[in-house]
Chains A and B, each alone.
Chain A
Amino acid sequence: MEDAQRRRTWLALTGPYALFLLFLLLVPFANVAVYSLHPYSPTKVFLPELTFANYLKIFDVYYLRLFGRTLRLGLITMAVCIVLGYPLAYFLARSRPRMQALCLFLLIMPLMVSAVIRVFGWIVILGRKGLVNQALLVFGLDPVRLLYNETAVVIGLVNVFIPFMVLPIMASIERIPPSLEEAAQNLGANWAQMFRRTILPLSVPGLLSGCLLVYSLSISAFVTPALLGNSRDRMVGQQVYDEVLVSFNWPSASSLALTLIALTGVLMFCALLATRRASRREAAS
């Protein structure tokens, strides 16, 4: 009875984690979905009747502005990450192994250190008595208010999420054999022409992946905008936190959360498709 035993082994191997995810991922989100469909009550968490009010509320001015601001800041972050991250990705992809290992370490390390710490560092740099203002004073300029506004938030988000732009692009460029660059040069292209006609089009899957990744991470960020931004110009993450832990309006928080998940889910799914299609095209060539 080999088959039965194999099936049992398989269940023993995958079962625990599957159950775990069931109870600590699916069920909590099902719970959230349930909450989102009931109206809010300050005394009883929520009332028993069903309603779509929590979702319709999203079309209120306040929430529309909230989402608009969040999506806009996400877009700006993504754009800055492209401008700064693409050259870094190209550099990494074409570096010698030891240099690449070092630079990858320097890129990944901040990623793994808690976002709180990195944001903390930015607070010190951007603060009123911080590094930037000290430098300005040296040049005889007035101190600038750099913290607790959208600029600071974007700086923080770019700082935290740029590795997610760099790594997919780097992987894409690494798959382009250097002989293609040499062939283009041999056919008369200078570096800029070679880049535009050869590297750029072939790195699009990685670029797409990175953009979608950075964007969805940015619009669902919390710690960075919470510490570097202000309460008035908040992002969706801050609103969710607020509604869950401060105002205890769990139904509203739930509808907000599910809306955000729907957005990021779609984006992540597209990113996945982009990478799948790219690897399939390469497998053919």
Chain B
Amino acid sequence: MSRRVELEVRDLTKRYSPLVSVGPISFEVHEGEFFSLLGPSGCGKTTTLRCIAGFETLSGGSIRVGGERLDDKPPHRRDVGLVFQNYALFPHLTVFDNVAFGLRLRRMSKVDIAERVDRILQLVDLARMTTRIPAQLSGGQQQRVAIARSLVLEPRILMFDEPLSNLDFKLRLQMREELRNLQRRLGKTSIYVTHDQTEALALSDRIAVLSQGRIEQIGTPEEIYERPTSAFVAEFIGSSNMLPVRIVERGSDLTLVETEGGLRLLCLAAGEATFDGAADIAALIRPERVHVEAPGGAAAPRENRVAARIADVTYLGEDLLLGLELNGGDRLRAAMKNANASRRLAAGQYIEIVIAAADLRLLRR
């Protein structure tokens, strides 16, 4: 099932100064998709958002919605809803008036306005708050008003600028759930900007990871996590072990690499010829893929079995983190669920770790 492309951003560029610029950035968002722009602060995600909303002018490239050009329109004539980080609710207006703001500008009849506002407030569960002003609402309620205010105008695209970052932890989880349910229910094409990778993974159909003004990778949460294409993405999403290695021997579907500590490991074939002759290759191993076993076992085919010593143990209740020192000096972190730990592990113990070749991924640093 291929869905229609709702938003097309092509070679978007924004130059602030000869040294500071964002782009070129290109991506497509499909109808009904929840698409996240994820990256650390300063990576250009907010700039991209503001370009789509019209608060920044493009230095180059184009933005199209439903096939029509968007970037030549002033911000108040773009059919794109924006939920601001600080909600930007009008402090002097009631909840009702805030939500009705855009409708009133379109000169709808009072009856129509009232009906639509009431309907949307029911949808976000704020039907009883119509006469309150923003100062009387909690953070979560304010956010819902901000969403309702944009939604009531039925925009083609709804955009969110780090909407959960001002909420405390528990509320953030709750609002995250509500946001996802709302979006699924309405099927509204959504673009979500965040620096929080857990949020992005939990909410998105697809994620674009940005760094220093460029897109590093676009993919589904699973693709981004399991098959990162660059060291940045690998390190930004989830925890990672990045072992510097050099290629010893290339096979048809497996490659042999050697770590700095002299360890030889089997990993999946690199695939791209770009690894040839490169000096800055690293092998990515997710800590939860490092399996801890008692010494003395045999390595299965397409598996690596390495002796190691536990350097430190961190007990986190649900999880257990191990700092491991391998023969030769390489260090790794392993993560496991305490419920799965078969016996007590303590610093100083000698163990063996098993890493499947399929769980070792080669990346350029």
Q: Mark A175-201, 1 if CB is under 8 A from B, else 0.
A: 001011011111111100110011001
CA distance A40 to B55 in the complex (A): 69
B92 touches A182 (CB 8 A): no
A283 to chain B: closest CB distance in Å?
9
Chain B neighbourhood of A284, CB < 8 A: 135
CA distance A284 to B82 in the complex (A): 25
Total interface residues in chain A, CB < 8 Å? 22
Residue of A nearest to B97 (CB): A197
Chain A neighbourhood of B246, CB < 8 A: none
B101 touches A179 (CB 8 A): no
B92 touches A202 (CB 8 A): yes
B346 to chain A: closest CB distance in Å?
53
B135 touches A183 (CB 8 A): no
CA distance A193 to B101 in the complex (A): 11
Residue of A nearest to B85 (CB): A179
Residue of A nearest to B99 (CB): A187
- Residue from B82, B90, B106 in contact with A186 in the complex, judged by beta carbons closer than 8 Å: B82
CA distance A183 to B92 in the complex (A): 14
B84 touches A187 (CB 8 A): no
Please tell me if B80 contacts chain A, counting CB pairs below 8 Å: yes
A187 touches B150 (CB 8 A): yes
Chain B neighbourhood of A182, CB < 8 A: 53, 55, 75, 82, 84, 88
B101 touches A184 (CB 8 A): yes
A187 touches B91 (CB 8 A): no
B91 touches A193 (CB 8 A): no
B153 touches A183 (CB 8 A): no
- Residue from B53, B90, B105 in contact with A188 in the complex, judged by beta carbons closer than 8 Å: B105
B90 touches A180 (CB 8 A): yes
- Residue from A183, A198, A202, A285 in contact with B82 in the complex, judged by beta carbons closer than 8 Å: A183
| Chain B 113-150 interface residues, beta-carbon cutoff 8 Å to A | 133-135, 149-150
Residue of B nearest to A201 (CB): B92
Chain B neighbourhood of A193, CB < 8 A: 105
A183 touches B105 (CB 8 A): no
Residue of B nearest to A186 (CB): B82
- Residue from B74, B78, B88, B106 in contact with A183 in the complex, judged by beta carbons closer than 8 Å: B88
A188 touches B88 (CB 8 A): no
A177 touches B86 (CB 8 A): yes
A285 touches B150 (CB 8 A): no
Chain A neighbourhood of B102, CB < 8 A: 187-189
B281 to chain A: closest CB distance in Å?
44
CA distance A193 to B92 in the complex (A): 16
B56 to chain A: closest CB distance in Å?
11
B153 to chain A: closest CB distance in Å?
7
Please tell me if B343 contacts chain A, counting CB pairs below 8 Å: no
| Chain B 64-101 interface residues, beta-carbon cutoff 8 Å to A | 74-78, 80-82, 84-86, 88-92, 101
B105 touches A187 (CB 8 A): yes
| CB<8 Å pairs between A and B, sample of 8 | A177-B88, A185-B54, A185-B76, A187-B101, A187-B105, A189-B102, A197-B101, A285-B91
Q: A184-B90, A189-B101 are in contact. List 20 more A-B contacts (CB 8 A).
A: A177-B86, A179-B85, A182-B88, A183-B84, A183-B89, A183-B149, A185-B55, A185-B75, A185-B76, A186-B53, A186-B78, A187-B105, A187-B149, A188-B102, A189-B102, A193-B105, A197-B90, A202-B92, A281-B91, A284-B135
